[in-house]
Amino acid sequence: MKEYEQLFTDSIRGELKSFAEYRAAYREIWTLRNILSVLHWDSEITLPEEGRTERGDQIGLLSGLVHSKYAGDKFYALAEKAREENEKKSLPGQEERRVELKILFKDLNRSRCLSQELVEEFSVITSKAHAVWAKARKENKFSDFAPILNQIVELSKKQTECYGYQTEAYDALLEGYEPGERASNLENLFFNLKNSLKPLVARGKKINNPFPREIPISLQRRLGENLPSLLGLSSKMSRLDASEHPFSTSLGSKDKRITTRYDLKDPLSSIFSILHETGHSFYEAGISEIIGGPSPLHDSVSLGIHESQSRLWENQVGRSREFWEMYYPILMNSLDLKESELSFSELFSYINQSSPSLIRVEADQITYNLHIILRFEIERALINGKVQVSELPELWNSKMKDLFGIEVPSDREGVLQDVHWSGGAFGYFPTYTLGNIYSAQLFQAFSKETPNFSEQVTKNKDFSSLLGWLRKNVHWKGKFHSAEDLIRSATGMDPDSSHLVTYLENKLTELESIDHG
């Protein structure tokens, strides 16, 4: 929250010596985490292949060091002294510092459950696994990835035992991404959402790729490189690169990295990856604007909220008519296309098509959540010990047939398509659907307050009102509120998937009007 900056003036720091010492130690840990992020980013973007083994060792060593500093007795003692001091001295910002320290100790106690040896081993294995996954995916050989994936699963199970859980092991990992959420709650939510989406899936229509020819990567780069700055992310604090799987990461308060993936046959694949990852970077940049950090409050409240930002820019903005009325001429000029080759209506219909597909990152808005449900069910069973790694391809293909009616032709287009499991990110996937739910509700609230947003975009290429609204209602809140409270504060309502369903219904109606026009 922006006003949080007023709580840490030099005079207050002077009277809260222990608190200042704890904050200095926290800043050092934060800096080391950013250095670790640089190593991870470089591993996926520029690292020579033969340097990967040594890099894995570097990442493992630094990960262990960061963990020992954060979860070690020295930092814990500093935090305890800061908490005691804050309770003794009734100074401005006492309640806010109390909340900060409460959040800190919740995370500290969780981190202290893991030994440094387990953290290092997990970091080394997952660092090496990325290259193994990428090669297995390229060569379509799940059997090459299975052994190291099995190691990651076993280490993840060890983590669940260290963390502890009440109902099922998967909850212990889910907690790390979506605090307070439980698999049984998600099961009910996803079941209800799936039933609401079924009639919409039936109304969907497959639109063939309308691009008249393959588009050179050089032209696609020319098109996409200016998109983040057009949306409002300064090129002075961001960078765009290519990777096997699109991602974004923060390497510092003024250093946000974005990657995309290029497809010669479909330039939109890259564009929507950039939109998605720019949304993530907007959130990280907004959090970095909160003065008074770094601190446990200067962080995202949950991955569901983080995903709400990426999905909002990708879908509510990026698939809207006003965006493409503005962006269509830019795309046509950058890709050297003529209107006779690709009309606006053809392009817009293709962008918003709905049809069952193999690849999650290329799925339409309506079927996307079914991809998430599939992954949630599989990894939940995997971590809970109900299925084995060797069974994953067959299980994946069976669920694709059940949910989508699609036969999976290869593991590359099936169980090997996502990078997440190579990083041990079990519990991450459900946050995508939570993000979809939150994004629809947030954008609806913004639209009510800013009814002329469409005109701002089409006439002025101006997204500042949306970015400003998100800064105020989401980004600058940091971790001060729970995800549920943040949504309630921003929209005036409890989180509710009905807003997502309504949005998708309206999108289908819009497309059907084009077909009949």
Paired with 242 in beta bridges are 260
CA distances to 208, 279, 293, 516 from 430, in Å: 29, 18, 29, 36
CA distance 489 to 324: 31
CA distance 494 to 501: 15
Closest C-alpha among 261, 256, 252, 351 to residue 309: 256
| Residue 280 assigned ligand-binding role | yes
Closest C-alpha among 133, 128, 120, 132 to residue 43: 128
| Residue 322 assigned ligand-binding role | no
| Residue 516 assigned ligand-binding role | no
Would you tell me how many other CB atoms lie within 10 Å of the CB of residue 89?
13
Single out the catalytic residue among 277, 314, 377, 379.
277
CA distances to 78, 106, 177 from 69, in Å: 12, 16, 22
Residue 277 bears catalytic tag: yes
The token pair that represents 393 in the structure block: 């391809």
- Please tell me whether residue 31 adopts helix, strand or coil conformation: helix
With a CB cutoff of 8 Å and minimum separation 6, the contacts of 21 are 78, 81, 82
The token pair that represents 371 in the structure block: 């991809």
Whether 162 contacts 114, CB under 8 Å: yes
CA distances to 145, 339, 344, 357, 365 from 400, in Å: 21, 37, 33, 9, 17
- Please tell me whether residue 251 adopts helix, strand or coil conformation: strand
Whether 125 contacts 155, CB under 8 Å: yes
Asked whether the bond before 294 is cis by omega within 30 degrees of 0, the reply is yes
CA distance 155 to 425: 12
CA distances to 229, 254, 312, 461, 478 from 236, in Å: 9, 8, 23, 20, 23
**Could you tell me how many helices (H) and strands (E) the chain has, helices first?**
22, 3
Which segments are annotated as binding site for Zn(2+)?
276, 280, 307
Which segments are annotated as binding site?
276, 280, 307
The residues annotated with a catalytic role in the active site are 277
